[in-house]
Structure 1
Amino acid sequence: MKYICSVAINAPIEKVVALWKDEASFEKWQDGFQSIQHFEGQPDAIGAKSKIIFQQGKRKLELIETILSNNLPEEKKALYEHIHMINTQTTKFEKINENQTRYISEVVYTKFNGIMPKLMAKLFPGMFKKQSQKWMDQFKKFTEETE
């Protein structure tokens, strides 16, 4: 399963990228974000690994992120592994003009483990894209409201 989301943000590319990379602000635009813990390699360097924890209702969601490439603002690609699924996400930022930036996210799910995740992906693929777009829209709002 593959999808692409994008949003135009009314802010210069330098500001957008700096805020997007700022782990201290993740909780302000990613619902349920709890923590990120780097445990291998230099943060943001190719091969670096981190554990990311989200709280979704009563459920805790743990992801292992591995950086595959990172030359922002052009592109950052990471592998995300979860007990129920594996995906890659490629994030790009494009300068529209001096005060506008396009934020693009391409997500490719490569594996679903278990009956329920496979059914959800098959029956409700839009649910995954909807969540990605929601976080991107929240990031847009956060960025445009941040001085």
Structure 2
Amino acid sequence: MGKLEEVFSEKELNRIKRWCIMRQQNGYHGRPNKPVDTCYSFWVGATLKLLKIFQYTNFEKNRNYILSTQDRLVGGFAKWPDSHPDALHAYFGICGLSLMEESGICKVHPALNGKPSYLEGKTFSGFVSFSEINFKLYFYN
């Protein structure tokens, strides 16, 4: 981590930054001409954070989009407003709010999708499994 400049040229990094920043409408979408989707608040947001340009996005619009997908009756977040919530979009919606430092939500590491204090000093080789980084670490200190 922290080695993007060693892998990509300045021109390539600028193209990636431009592509990512252009994904925001109110929330984020994953491809041009596709609808905004809650999970991209984490996927694109984390990428922008790693590229050190997340602060140039509109947090209020993104937050409002995520909250518009919340089911106030049963809880959770959905892919789109007025859709049924599911675990994936609930999880990544919360992670998206975390990237924006929403009050009451633990910070999430944008590259490893884990609680920073849990990840400090740990070395991961290959893929990180859900057994290594437990889901509950995001919600409990």
Give the TM-score of the pair, scaled to structure 1: 0.30
Give the TM-score of the pair, scaled to structure 2: 0.31
Q: Quick check: which one's strand share is greater?
A: 1
Q: Quick check: which one's helix share is greater?
A: 2
Bigger RCO (CA 8 Å, 6+ sep): 1
